[in-house]
């Protein structure tokens, strides 16, 4: 096949894949993948009822021999024209570091909705960085920012948290807005329950957020401490 035709074919295929991803996100699946928000209203600092973007806020989780530490850093990053807050997640198994991610969030100062603009990922093996699987950034390669927590969540709300075709397509459905969660750090009431799936793979996970605290349960990971 002539080189010109090969290039044209690749372009057509790429456009078809992108169109297919959008159709899957907004029509076939019923999950919103675009959000009406003025980027000028987005801030790297603030509090929603369920997510805190204030430097120094830390959440510590544990399940068996696995741990997860989430820290809001005193650091921001410009992503897709928005200054976002960097939130670090560090995961260990049996005392060994397995993954470090730097996640980019922004909050709507008017509504309290929290948006997700991507993440950098370091996957560790034998103490060394071995991969960057799952890394994405809004505005690059067709990726768009997603919604992490709506301004006024209602049971049945469905939306994409990540929209990076072929890389990260996590989505959530609000399964509850008034649930109780028992953890080693205490019992939390009136929690938000997000049931997560992916547009790329099978399986379901569950996240629960407590008002004024943030994430308190991530599947089997339970909150064991919060700072400050």
DSSP secondary structure of 118-166: EEEEEEEETTEEEE-TT-EETTSTT-EEEEEE-SS--TT-EEESEEBTT
Distance (Å, rounded) from C-alpha 214 to C-alpha 59?
8
Res. 16 pLDDT band, cuts 50 70 90: very low
3 state SS of 136? strand
Q: Has domain 29-227 been given CATH number 2.40.360?
A: yes
Q: What is the pTM of this model?
A: 0.87
pLDDT at position 7 is 38
Which residue in the block uniquely carries the two structure tokens 């430097």? 55
Res. 136 pLDDT band, cuts 50 70 90: very high
Indicate the domain borders of the chain: 29-227
Residues in the chain, overall count: 228
- Each residue's pLDDT tens digit, 70-93: 999 999 999 999 999 999 999 999
pLDDT at position 77 is 99
- Each residue's pLDDT tens digit, 50-71: 999 999 999 999 999 999 999 9
Bridge partners (DSSP) of residue 226 are 59
Assess whether pLDDT exceeds 90 at residue 4. Answer: no
Distance (Å, rounded) from C-alpha 35 to C-alpha 127?
39
Res. 6 pLDDT band, cuts 50 70 90: very low
């Amino acid at each position: 096949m002539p080189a010109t035709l090969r290039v044209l074919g690749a372009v057509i295929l790429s456009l078809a894949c992108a169109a297919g991803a959008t159709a899957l996100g907004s029509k076939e699946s019923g999950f919103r993948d675009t959000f009406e928000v003025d980027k000028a209203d987005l801030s790297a600092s603030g509090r929603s009822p369920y997510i805190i973007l204030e430097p120094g806020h830390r959440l510590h989780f544990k399940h068996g021999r696995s741990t997860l530490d989430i820290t809001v850093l005193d650091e921001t990053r410009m992503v897709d024209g928005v200054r976002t807050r960097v939130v670090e997640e560090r995961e260990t198994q049996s005392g060994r570091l397995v993954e470090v991610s730097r996640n980019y969030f922004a909050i709507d100062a008017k509504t309290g909705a929290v948006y997700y603009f991507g993440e950098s990922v370091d996957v560790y093996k034998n103490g060394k960085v071995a991969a960057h699987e799952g890394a994405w950034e809004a505005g690059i390669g067709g990726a768009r920012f997603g919604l992490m927590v709506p301004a006024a969540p209602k049971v049945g709300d469905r939306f994409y948290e990540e929209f990076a075709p072929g890389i990260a397509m996590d989505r959530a459905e609000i399964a509850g807005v008034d649930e109780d969660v028992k953890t080693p750090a205490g019992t939390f009431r009136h929690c938000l329950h997000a049931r997560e799936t992916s547009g790329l793979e099978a399986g379901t996970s569950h996240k629960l957020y407590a008002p004024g605290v943030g994430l308190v349960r991530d599947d089997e990971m339970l909150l064991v401490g919060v700072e400050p």
